[in-house]
Amino acid sequence: MNLNERPLHELLALIEQGEIHARDVIRDLYRAIAEKEPQIRAYISLTPQERLLEECERLSEKPLRGLPIAVKDNIVTRDLKTTCASRFLENFQPIFDATVIKRLKDAGATILGKTNLDEFAMGSSTENSAFFATRNPHDPERVPGGSSGGSAAAVAAHEAICALGSDTGGSIRQPASFCGIVGLKPTYGLVSRYGLVAFASSLDQIGPMTKDVRDCAILLNYIAGHDPNDSTSVARPSEDYTQELDQEIKGFRVGVPKEYISDLSGQAQACLESWVKTFRELGAEIVELSLPHTEYAIPTYYLISSSEASANLARFDGVRYTKRASDSSVETMFSESRDQGFGPEVKRRIMIGTYALSAGYYEAWYGKAQRVRALIRQDFENAFQSVDIIISPTSPTPAFQLGERLKDPLAMYLSDIFTVPASLAGTPAISIPGGTVEGLPFGIQLIADRFQERKLLRVAHAFERALPRYAP
Ligand code: GLN
């Protein structure tokens, strides 16, 4: 097996034993990139191989040994442009590293490249990138999911060992499901958002996208923790997320929400049944439960996230950052820069958000959405009184065809039905490979109560070992 196909924890062990060196891994990665990237197109920019080979020498004594990580291109990096897959930021060179990047670099990681996404992370297929679409390594006619589609495709195609993504309503979990990898959205507030270009600030979280659950726990150890530069990051004692991974889950209560499973296709239903069976074999108890406000989650999410986006994206005005249209007058310069700089989906969100926040409509739309959000959060708080973990499919379907949902934004939005509730509630959720539907990867989502990442990863790890491995 080539080194680029191995998970991070195995590579670290091999380096420690003196069997290999980080440069061997880097060479294998670039070989895979040269071979696969013309078709997959996971990356917007790449660090030159020579530079990584040099950097890894200096880092060989640090815990991550100079091994490279791929990063979604809405997380700012001092050494590589950060475009958010938008014309607006096509040539934007940040002057600092996001907190997560700084932490990973301090631990001895290097940055392999910046991965493609839906423009400003708005979308579910990576087709909203202003530059190009990324393809699913399991079937190049299909999307990799989104918005962290580049990170998911890079890990699945072994063009990266592991990656960072960001998740606002499912953007780590859904592409992880579509590409057959592991993706974790941490509890809101656990990981610093400083240096993540904001989409919807009350929902955005950065998280790991990896080949297995152990790698997810390892990366979380490095990126989690309080940051004075992000006022919503929570000060809590640090934890070792790998600590409980190997413990059994006998006696755990696993909840299946009835609202999530009523409309599943035959094959998805069969997957769900195999998950229930696997959990029972592990000694867990299966409990049917209800999250009664689930049907309101999609409209609530799109109102809140678009409102926050319309405020956050006001800073892209042609004056600061990179894109500026002709400046015959200040007003035309603003409006033409925005017209030329933003793609259609971003404009749609800004219009929805501006409308929902406008005088006279604020209470009816944004205010109401906030109140429904509180009810959705309450649903989860009630459920976690009686269960340890909630399970569901990550997405109702496996990866869809390129172009299939582009003409119908509503169909695209509805596919987020299982991922947005945990985002609104702020709880952690992970997607791991759970079988196949139509011959394609189909992920299971596990949700835990807020700040229960250790328990979540323990259950995910037990399940990962017990379910017959999905072989692409
Ligand atoms: N698909 C969702 C959206 O378009 C989620 C995006 C995300 O999590 N960044 O808003």
pLDDT digits (tens, 9 = 90+) for 408-440: 888 899 889 999 999 999 999 999 999 999 999
Return the ligand 1 atom nearest residue 124 CA.
Answer: 1
Contact 102, 144 (CB under 8 A): no
| For residues 129-146, average pLDDT | 98
Q: Is 265 a catalytic residue?
A: no
Contact residues of ligand 1, CB 6 A cut-off:
121-124, 147, 167-171, 199, 305, 416
Whether pLDDT at 252 is above 60: yes
Most ligand 1 atoms within 8 A of CB, residue of 75, 115, 124, 298 to mutate: 124
| For residues 133-144, average pLDDT | 98
Whether pLDDT at 48 is above 50: yes
How many angstroms does the Cα of residue 112 sit away from the middle of ligand 1? 24
Whether pLDDT at 263 is above 90: no
Whether pLDDT at 405 is above 50: yes
How many angstroms does the Cα of residue 248 sit away from the middle of ligand 1? 34
Most ligand 1 atoms within 8 A of CB, residue of 120, 122, 143, 202 to mutate: 122
**From 223-227, 360-364, 430-434, the region with the lowest mean pLDDT:** 360-364
Contact 216, 457 (CB under 8 A): yes
| For residues 117-125, average pLDDT | 98
Q: Is 171 a catalytic residue?
A: yes
How many angstroms does the Cα of residue 35 sit away from the middle of ligand 1? 30
How many angstroms does the Cα of residue 58 sit away from the middle of ligand 1? 38
How many angstroms does the Cα of residue 173 sit away from the middle of ligand 1? 10
How many angstroms does the Cα of residue 123 sit away from the middle of ligand 1? 5
Confidence of residue 96 (pLDDT cuts 50, 70, 90): very high
| For residues 129-140, average pLDDT | 98
The whole-number pLDDT of residue 471 equals 47
Q: Is the dihedral of CA 273, 274, 278, 279 positive or negative?
A: negative
d(CA 294, CA 297): 5
Most ligand 1 atoms within 8 A of CB, residue of 166, 171, 413, 420 to mutate: 171
Please list the residues that pair with 114 across neighbouring strands.
Answer: 45, 71
Most ligand 1 atoms within 8 A of CB, residue of 74, 416, 417, 431 to mutate: 416
Choose the catalytic residue: 171, 233, 395, 423.
171
Phi (first) and psi of residue 201, to 5 degrees: -65, -25
Return the ligand 1 atom nearest residue 199 CA.
Answer: 9
Choose the catalytic residue: 147, 337, 392, 423.
147
Name the residue at shortest CA distance from atom 10 of ligand 1.
Answer: 122
Neighbours of 39 (CB within 10 A): 11
Whether pLDDT at 244 is above 80: yes
Residue-wise DSSP of 159-206: S-S-EEEEESSSTTHHHHHHHT-EEEEPPTTTB--TTBPPSSTTT-EE
d(CA 277, CA 271): 10
Please list the residues that pair with 432 across neighbouring strands.
Answer: 444
Average pLDDT of the chain?
Answer: 96
How many angstroms does the Cα of residue 291 sit away from the middle of ligand 1? 21
pLDDT digits (tens, 9 = 90+) for 301-344: 999 999 999 999 999 988 887 778 876 788 888 888 899 999 99
For strand 182-185 and strand 205-210, is the pairing parallel, antiparallel, or unpaired? antiparallel
d(CA 161, CA 181): 11
d(CA 368, CA 392): 27
Q: What is the rounded (10 degree) CA torsion for 426, 154, 126, 178? A: -70
The whole-number pLDDT of residue 472 equals 41
**Sheet architecture: strand order including 205-210:** 43-46, 110-115, 68-72, 163-167, 205-210, 182-185, 429-437, 440-447, 389-393, 253-257, 285-289
Contact 197, 120 (CB under 8 A): yes
Return the ligand 1 atom nearest residue 423 CA.
Answer: 8
Return the ligand 1 atom nearest residue 301 CA.
Answer: 10
Q: Is 328 a catalytic residue?
A: no
The whole-number pLDDT of residue 330 equals 82
For strand 43-46 and strand 110-115, is the pairing parallel, antiparallel, or unpaired? antiparallel
C-alpha radius of gyration, the chain, whole number: 21
**Of residues 1 and 113, which shows the higher confidence score?**
113
**What is the DSSP-derived secondary structure letter of residue 342?**
S
pLDDT digits (tens, 9 = 90+) for 344-360: 999 999 999 999 999 89
**From 10-19, 169-178, 323-332, 433-442, the region with the lowest mean pLDDT:** 323-332
**What is the DSSP-derived secondary structure letter of residue 447?**
E
Give me the helix-helix angle, 22-40 and 49-58, nearest 10°. 150
Name the residue at shortest CA distance from atom 5 of ligand 1.
Answer: 169
Choose the catalytic residue: 36, 72, 105, 185.
72
